[in-house]
Amino acid sequence: MKTEMRHAMRVIVRKKLQSLLGMLGLVAAVIVPAMAYAEDAPRRPNIVIILADDMGFADMGSFGSEIKTPNLDSLAKAGTRFTNFYTHASCSPTRSMLLSGVDTHLNGLGNMNEWIAPNQAGVPGYEGNLNNRVVTMPQLLKGAGYHTYMVGKWHMGKAPDQIPAARGFERDFSLLDGGGSYWDMTNITAAVPKSLFTEDGRYLTKLPEDYYATKTYTDKLIGFIDANRGDGKPFFAYVAHQAPHDPYHLPRDWRNRHPGEYDKGWDQVRQERLKRQVEMGIMPAGTELAERMWFVPDPIVLAPASRYILGKKMELYAGMVENMDFHVGRLIDHLKKIGEYENTIFIFFGDNGAEGTDLFGMIAGSPGSRDNLYAAITWSQTHPNAWGDPGSWVGYGPMWAQVSMTPFSQFKGQLAEGGIRNALIVSGPNVKRPAGSINDGLMHVADLMPTLLEVAGTSYPKASQPDLPPLIGKSWGPVLAGKADSVRTEQDYLAWEVFGNRAVRQGDWKLRWQLKPYGKSDWELFNLAKDPAERNDLAAQNPDKLKAMLVAWESYVKANNVILPSRGPYDTLEKDMPQRVTVHPGFPPLIYQRQFVPPKEMLADPKP
């Protein structure tokens, strides 16, 4: 009996085991193809956005510069350069659109935090930080399975719910302020003497040993990438360099790489850059330089010592750009070393036009003021041999800012092309255009959100969150794939407003209102295809076009709750600056006429 029972039990166990094995086989039959599919499916690319701060359109070798940028140029050679790419005219508005894809007047940066006007204070969209009514790119990419990293300048809020860790970044090492020392935590005003930094969502009490901004940001990012290597997840890295924003702080071995090169002056350097741009195809043949700004002297009339000192400032700026390029190269080399370079999309551009205003003078204010005393003590290293050291402050001024923005008019803060048009490089596996090609399609910084969500295989959650503001950009997918030359039609338009300056771009046409003295405090109309330097106002000759573009402007104002500021940085500027006049080369002849030299055969000594 016991034997029969044991036999029966063996039969039952065997059948259950066979059943269990059958079930496991079925599960395996489902899992293995899925695993095989996952292994066979193409890896989603890593995404690296490298943002330069106050770097000009013409400051890379691949965009016509004499500044040596071999690493950025290598990205241009492998990918595509874009010559009609727009940001905003100042830092935080651009950054807010980059990360949200939403217009500044809805995302919280309708005006910079530093310039919120009395009639804008307390109005939604003008918080001065990236507000919580928008969702950010890192939040969406993180939800789609990406690691999200940030290093560098944030400038979109300092409170715990406003810092990078609160807006979707898994790892960060960030300067929260808009600028400051590259060597330490020294900030730029007496009321805010110490810059704030965060690392992984915690406010830092001190900086790492041997801190230098551009180097440390790169070191930290490489560390973030390596910490998660091998887990199979792609990464999104936002590299928001402080360079080359003033003050120009630089290690000594990077300061003298262009000795005497800029003593020839800004006009000649602009002409040389434009010539190279035309030869490269960056600008069309026949492009004119923008008029030299009326308050900038012709370098010909300056004494050699003055040209030397001003040239040395440009040498320092060039060193800042070259040092940043070197550290970009370190990142590229590391990604090659770990086998991630070929599967990484690189996007490089500057956040606005080059800085031509005297930021130091604006902050320091008048003698006897609190900030003037702070500036004199904190930024006391004024000898040219100390430029670049801790405690020094150098900016290169409007003359060199126009060089950086060759061939365009004006610079940062303005809605002339020199304030908002930037050099853009895109390279990587999604770029199917010919290597080293140049594209003149109309592009905008807000396009990055739809473009990169598409790359990541996810989408903007408008359907599930109907209160989210609409994206204003268009995906670059068709252009990068080589299936289209532009993502915009002749009817699509872009629009801007900051500090009371305003502009609309539609097709080849641009409508612009700039406050005096940089503008007319009236609408001006330009055909940028024929006149990229904005030399010829065509408003009077084209009243119908003017009227049609004003309709676009009013539509933009209504859709985005644009509130023109009651106060701003131009309040007394017209009175304080020289009266604006047209600059004509060689005028007045009085200061250009040279010593007349009589024919040698007609020379004689006086008669006795």
pLDDT (tens digit per residue) in 562-583: 999 999 998 888 888 898 999 9
Neighbours of 2 (CB within 10 A): 6
User: Is residue 528 included in any domain, yes or no?
Assistant: no
User: Is residue 305 included in any domain, yes or no?
Assistant: yes
Residue 18 has pLDDT above 70, yes or no: no
* Average pLDDT of every residue of the chain: 92
Q: What is the CATH number of the domain that holds 444?
A: 3.40.720.10
- Mean pLDDT lowest for which of 55-59, 356-360, 445-449? 356-360
223-to-44, 145, 149, 218, 228 alpha-carbon distances in Å: 21, 20, 10, 9, 9
HEC string of 382-448 equals CCHHHCCCCCCCCCCHHHHHHHHCCCCCCCCCCCCHHHHEEEEEEECCCCCCCCCEEECCCEEHHHH
**pLDDT above 70 as % of the chain:** 93
Per-residue DSSP letter, 66: S
Number of domains into which the chain is organized: 1
Residues 6+ apart with CB under 8 A from 500: 515, 564, 565, 568, 570
User: Is residue 600 included in any domain, yes or no?
Assistant: no
Confidence of residue 39 (pLDDT cuts 50, 70, 90): very low
Domain, as residue range, for 179:
38-489
Confidence of residue 591 (pLDDT cuts 50, 70, 90): confident
User: Is residue 582 included in any domain, yes or no?
Assistant: no
- Mean pLDDT lowest for which of 8-22, 74-88, 90-104, 321-335? 8-22
User: Is residue 76 included in any domain, yes or no?
Assistant: yes
CA distance 520 to 501: 11
Paired strand residues for 198: 174, 203
Structure tokens of 416?
A: 């002339």
CA distance 302 to 6: 110
User: Is residue 537 included in any domain, yes or no?
Assistant: no
Assign 2 to helix, strand or coil.
Answer: helix
Kindly list the catalytic residues.
Answer: 91, 155
The answer to whether the beta carbons of residues 526 and 538 sit under 8 Å apart is yes
Confidence of residue 465 (pLDDT cuts 50, 70, 90): confident
Residue 42 has pLDDT above 80, yes or no: no
Q: What's residue 95's pLDDT? A: 98
Residues 6+ apart with CB under 8 A from 401: 56, 353, 354, 355, 356, 411, 412, 418
User: Is residue 406 included in any domain, yes or no?
Assistant: yes
User: Is residue 539 included in any domain, yes or no?
Assistant: no
Confidence of residue 261 (pLDDT cuts 50, 70, 90): very high
